[in-house]
Amino acid sequence: SLKANIGDYQFDNVLLNAAGIRCATTDELDKILDSQAGGCVTKSATPEPRKGNESPRMKATALGCINSMGLPNHGFDYYLKFAEANQNKAGKQVILSIAGLSVDQNLEMLKKIQASSFDGLTELNLSCPNIKGESQIAYDFEAVREILTDTFKFFKKQLGIKLPPYFDMHQFDRIAEVLNGFPITYVNAINSVGNGLIVNPETESAVIKPKGGFGGIGGQYIKPTALANVRALRLRLRPDISIIGTGGIRSGQDVFEHILCGANLVQIGTQFGFEGTKIFDRISRELKEIMDKKGYQSVADFRGKLKTL
Ligand code: DHB
């Protein structure tokens, strides 16, 4: 079976969409909930609706994509309403993603969630790389400690944190030390590899318009970085903190690798953008085939069991 859980929440399938891809409207979110996926994640919300950055702001390549969307979304109330209305589907969870442009905006949305009837998982996105003039909060470890200190003064529901990729062993040590000090339910590793640059040699130009062409990289480019982050965090976080693995998944084998590194669930961004909801059938089939061949009955049989030489 491909069942998994995070905290108290049961998922019939380990596969979810990654925030940002085909999940900005209730129509898109309904399609994910009607698919094989174990649930859906909503486009990261800001307190008010936003149009986002100027176009072109996303470009696909053979190996993945670059984006600088700038948080186009229908506003927090729209996604909270969807989450409240869709929270009682057995085995399918709605994860409500929020990405305020300031600490105050995040606390304002978290207070509304606390006061609402939504009792599912909230994903606090501390890693958006695409807002002009703003830095990715999760690269400032003391800022993470402060926002979580303020949050858990009033927030009693279950919270996950969306992290950016880290690249240095000391960064893994420091973020884990901060996160282990709070009652978080899960971390999601990783967001896009921030502020990459893709060049078109023909036109001698950047391929997206915002920020002079700099944007978050997703897809095959980032799988080794994603696996390293899942593994490094699994080795450092409290055992009761679950991990969602995100980054570079386009086959059942990629999911198998994420789970070996310690992922409880996985999310698919770039490749879900390319294929749509039928990807959840294909990858479920591929993962089951690998598990059958190896004699694994459940994902728990190999989760976190990566060998080293
Ligand atoms: C956007 C991109 C991200 O990687 C993210 O975490 C949040 C928002 C965006 O540009 O819309």
Average model confidence (pLDDT) for the chain?
98
Q: Which of 68, 97, 127, 284 is catalytic?
A: 127
Domain boundaries, the chain: 4-52+70-192+219-301
Nearest to 245 by CA among 260, 185, 169, 305: 260
- Which residues does a 6 A CB cutoff place in the pocket of ligand 1? 20, 44, 52, 67-71, 99, 125, 127-130, 191-192, 216
Does the bond joining 47 to the residue before it have cis omega, within 30 degrees of 0?
no
Residue with the smallest CA separation from ligand 1 atom 3 is 128
For residue 200, the tally of other CB atoms under 10 A from its CB is 12
Burial code of 62-91, b = ≥16 C-beta within 10 A, e = fewer? eebbbbbbbbebbebebbbebbbebbeeee
Nearest to 44 by CA among 68, 75, 14, 15: 75
Nearest to 249 by CA among 214, 212, 274, 232: 274
Residue 112, exposed/middle/buried by CB under 10 A (0-12, 13-18, 19+)? middle
Beta bridge partners of 163: 189
CA of 49 to the centre of ligand 1 (A): 14
Q: Is 128 a catalytic site residue? A: yes
Average pLDDT over residues 101-114: 98
The 10s digit of each residue's pLDDT in 10-60 is 999 999 999 999 999 999 999 999 999 999 999 999 999 999 999 999 999
Does the bond joining 190 to the residue before it have cis omega, within 30 degrees of 0?
yes
**One-letter amino acid of 206:** A
Q: 4-52+70-192+219-301, superfamily in CATH?
A: Aldolase class I (3.20.20.70)
Q: How far apart are CA 197 and CA 206, in angstroms?
A: 7
Q: Is 284 a catalytic site residue? A: no
- When pLDDT is cut at 50, 70 and 90, the band that residue 8 belongs to is confident
CA of 207 to the centre of ligand 1 (A): 17
The 10s digit of each residue's pLDDT in 175-225 is 999 999 999 999 999 999 999 999 999 999 999 999 999 999 999 999 999
Do the interacting molecules here have an ipTM over 0.90? yes
The percentage of residues in the chain with a pLDDT greater than 90, rounded to a whole number, is 97
The 10s digit of each residue's pLDDT in 163-186 is 999 999 999 999 999 999 999 999
Residue with the smallest CA separation from ligand 1 atom 6 is 128
Please say if the pLDDT value at position 132 is more than 90.
Answer: no
CA of 54 to the centre of ligand 1 (A): 14
CA of 164 to the centre of ligand 1 (A): 11
Kindly give the number of the ligand 1 atom that is closest to the alpha carbon of 125: 6
Nearest to 51 by CA among 23, 21, 73, 22: 73
Please say if the pLDDT value at position 133 is more than 90.
Answer: no
